[in-house]
Amino acid sequence: MKKRNRVYGVLGIKSIMANWNADFTGRPKTIGNGDIFGSDKALKYPMKKMWQDQGEKILYIKSYKIDNKSGKVQPKELSERYEEIFGVKLDGKTPSEEVLRNLFSALDVINFGATFAEKEQNLSITGAVQIGQGFNKYEDTRIEVQDILSPFRDSTEKDAKSTTLGTKIVSDEAHYFYSFSVNPQSYDDYIRLVDGFEGYTEEAYEKFKGVSLSSATFLNTNSKFGCENEFAMFIECKDESKLYLPDLAQYIKFDKEREKDEIDLKRLEFLKEQRIADEILALEIYYNPYTTKIEGNFETMNVKYKNIFTSEVIE
C-alpha cells in the first residue's frame, strides 16, 4: 500500500566507551568548534547491515570479491554489486526503466535514494527518507585513547625486537540526536515513468521504523560495541497536511541526573499549539525507561510513550 503521510522525527544514539563515527585519524568526528557529531552515513550503515542480515535486498553496502588477476580481495564495483543482487547483466543497452525498477526494489534505495552512474545510466534518486547530522548533546564527553599491544612483531621495522603497539580511541560517553524526515511524495514523478511502480510504500516505512529502533544496538563491532538506540520520536502528519517542520533535534537537550539520564523535550512543546497539533495524526516517543526519563508534556496530543526495546506502551 502506498504511503501518503509525511513523517518528521528524531533518533537518539547512546555511545559508552565506543566510537560511533570516527574521522580519518580515528577520533570521533568533530566540526570546527570541537563539537562531536555523527554523519548520516554512520546511522544508515547499521540500518542497511541489519536489513541485509534479515534477507532484504541492499545495494549500497560494501561487498567483496577475489580479483581474478591478482588473487587479492577487492571491494566490488557498483555495477558488479547491481548484477549480483538483481541477477541481470548491466550494459549500455539496458533501458533506464528497467534499471529504475530494479533500484526501487532494493530496500535501501526506496528509503534513502541513490546516485547511479554506470554503463550509460545517469540516475539520481532523492530518497523519501532524509537524515541530518547527529550532534552529541552531552557536554561532558571526553575522548579516551587506549594503547593496544599486538601479539606480533612488525618485520618491516629493521630494529623491531618486540610486538607492535596500536591505539583504540573512544568517547567515554556521548549522546547523538539525528533529525529525519519522510516525504513519500518524493517518488511521485517515477510512478508514471516506471510501469508497476507505486511509489513509497507503507511496508518500506515500517521497515525503516523498525531499524530506527534497534540497528545501532544490533551492530556489535569492536568500535560500535557500547552504542545503542536510546530514543526515537515519530511525528506523523495527517494526509494532505500542509505542516512542514524544521530540524527537531536542535530543540532537544540531554542532561545527566543522579538516578537516570534526562532527555529534555520541553522546547518541543510548541507542537501542542492548535494550528500545529491539528495537522498531526500521531506522535510516538520511544526511549529506554530503565536508564532514561523524558521531560516534556505532550498529553493533550494523545502521545504514546513506548519501550524502545520491546515497543510496549509505557503507562
pLDDT, tens only, 167-209: 889 999 999 999 999 999 999 999 999 999 999 999 999 999 9
In a 3-state reduction of DSSP, which class is residue 99?
helix
Check whether 16 has a pLDDT greater than 60. yes
Q: Could you tell me the CA-to-CA distances from 68 to 65, 101, 272 in Å, in that order? A: 9, 31, 62
Q: Choose the weakest-confidence range: 1-15, 23-37, 151-165.
A: 151-165
Pairing state between β 304-307 and 280-287: parallel
Residue 248 half-sphere exposure toward CB, CA atoms < 13 A: 24
Check whether 223 has a pLDDT greater than 70. no
Check whether 153 has a pLDDT greater than 80. no
**Residue 44 has what pLDDT?**
98
Cell output for 314: 509505557
Cα(183)–Cα(110) distance, rounded to whole angstroms? 12
* Per-residue pLDDT tens digits for 41-56: 999 999 999 999 999 9
Long-range contact pairs involving 292-295 (C-beta distance under 8 Å, separation at least 24): 292/230, 292/231, 292/260, 292/261, 292/262, 292/263, 293/257, 293/260, 293/261, 293/262, 293/263, 294/262, 294/263, 294/265, 295/262, 295/263, 295/264, 295/265, 295/266
**Residue 264 has what pLDDT?**
98
**Residue 231 has what pLDDT?**
98
Cα(312)–Cα(281) distance, rounded to whole angstroms? 20
Q: Choose the weakest-confidence range: 89-93, 230-234, 252-256, 304-308.
A: 89-93
Chain-centre distance for alpha carbon 90: 29
Average pLDDT, the chain: 93
**Residue 142 has what pLDDT?**
95
Cα(295)–Cα(253) distance, rounded to whole angstroms? 10
Cα(216)–Cα(172) distance, rounded to whole angstroms? 17
Cα(135)–Cα(143) distance, rounded to whole angstroms? 15
In a 3-state reduction of DSSP, which class is residue 81?
helix
Q: Choose the weakest-confidence range: 86-100, 127-141, 212-226.
A: 212-226
Cα(128)–Cα(190) distance, rounded to whole angstroms? 12
**Residue 147 has what pLDDT?**
79
Check whether 222 has a pLDDT greater than 70. no
**Residue 220 has what pLDDT?**
79
Position 1: which residue type?
M
Q: Stretch 235-251: mean pLDDT, rounded?
A: 96
Q: Choose the weakest-confidence range: 150-154, 293-297, 306-310.
A: 150-154
Place of cell 574521522: 23
265, 270, 272, 275: CA torsion to nearest 10: -160
**Residue 163 has what pLDDT?**
59
Contacts of 32 (CB under 8 A, 6+ apart): none
**Residue 104 has what pLDDT?**
97
Long-range contact pairs involving 264-267 (C-beta distance under 8 Å, separation at least 24): 264/295, 264/296, 265/233, 265/294, 265/295, 265/296, 265/298, 266/295, 266/296, 266/297
What share of the chain has pLDDT > 70, as a percent? 95
**Residue 119 has what pLDDT?**
84
Check whether 165 has a pLDDT greater than 90. no
Confidence band for 261, pLDDT divided at 50, 70 and 90? very high
The 8-class DSSP code of residue 252 comes to -
